[in-house]
């Protein structure tokens, strides 16, 4: 490959912008990096514009002993497609190919605009803990309320059972109070048991 071509500035080939140092072609804002042999082939056409380059000469320069007519034909076809203008490379049947127009220097690319300067030491952003505390306290209060409601719904009630018990025959009955912490059914069972026990 020609080193002078590789160090050249960007060139325009029809609608395509070619950068020899990076071996990239840009058409319509789309950048594509060329495969090494494809870039070598394009560099040869650029170094010899408007000149018929014979097939055997191109094969020897780009592929060495590994080339074939089919490989060259496919490479030229792909190069035409990449450049965005199939008429840039003219086929001379059974002889070779010609780059029909000399490449022109590409206009300079606009300089990238610098981002506005920022302070070297940005101010620390204070972490406002108040929303976190409020969320925690709200969750705690809601949890306590739910626990209280569940306790009221399912906690057994204390029931007071009044019993009349007569200790001695002929005496007035004595009233005794018994508390039961179970369900009403459990308290009824206790009362029935005590009544049977006292008889």
The pLDDT tens digits of the residues spanning 112-168 come to 666 565 555 666 555 566 677 777 888 889 989 988 888 777 766 555 555 555 566
Compute CA 176 distance to the chain's CA centroid, rounded to the nearest angstrom: 77
Compute the average pLDDT of residues 21-48: 93
Q: Can you give the pLDDT at residue 1?
A: 47
Q: Can you give the pLDDT at residue 99?
A: 93
Rounded to whole angstroms, the Cα distance separating 199 from 196 reads: 5
Q: Can you give the pLDDT at residue 101?
A: 83
Task: Give me the phi and psi of 95, to 5 degrees please.
Answer: -120, -55
Query: Average pLDDT of the chain?
Result: 78
Rg (CA), the chain: 49
Compute the average pLDDT of residues 44-56: 93
More confident residue, 198 or 17: 17
Structure tokens at 176: 């005794």
List the Cα angle 60/63/69 in 5-degree steps: 80
Percentages helix, strand, coil for the chain, rounded to the nearest 5? 45, 20, 35
Rounded to whole angstroms, the Cα distance separating 66 from 53 reads: 19
Q: How far apart are the first and last CA of the chain?
A: 123
Q: Can you give the pLDDT at residue 66?
A: 87
Q: Could you report the per-residue pLDDT of 66-98, keeping only the tens digit for each? A: 889 999 999 999 999 999 989 999 999 989 999
3-state secondary structure at position 51: coil
CA torsion sign, 34 to 36 to 41 to 46? positive
- 5 pLDDT above the threshold of 50: no
């Amino acid at each position: 490959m020609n080193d002078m071509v590789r160090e050249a500035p960007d060139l325009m080939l029809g609608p395509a912008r070619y950068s020899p140092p990076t071996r990239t072609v840009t058409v319509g804002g789309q950048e594509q990096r060329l495969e090494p042999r494809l870039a070598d082939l394009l560099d040869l056409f650029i170094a010899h514009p408007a000149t018929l380059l014979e097939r055997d000469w191109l094969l020897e320069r780009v592929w060495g002993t590994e080339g074939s007519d089919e490989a060259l034909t496919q490479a030229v076809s792909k190069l035409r497609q990449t450049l965005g203008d199939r008429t840039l490379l003219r086929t001379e049947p059974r002889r070779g190919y010609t780059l029909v127009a000399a490449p022109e220097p590409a206009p300079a690319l606009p300089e990238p605009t610098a981002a506005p300067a920022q302070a070297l030491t940005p101010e620390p952003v204070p972490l406002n803990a108040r929303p976190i505390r409020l969320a925690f306290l709200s969750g705690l209060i809601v949890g306590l309320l739910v626990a209280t409601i569940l306790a009221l719904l399912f906690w057994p009630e204390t029931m007071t059972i009044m019993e009349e018990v007569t200790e001695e025959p002929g005496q007035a009955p004595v009233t005794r109070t018994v508390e039961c912490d179970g369900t009403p059914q459990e308290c009824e069972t206790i009362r029935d048991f005590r009544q049977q026990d006292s008889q």
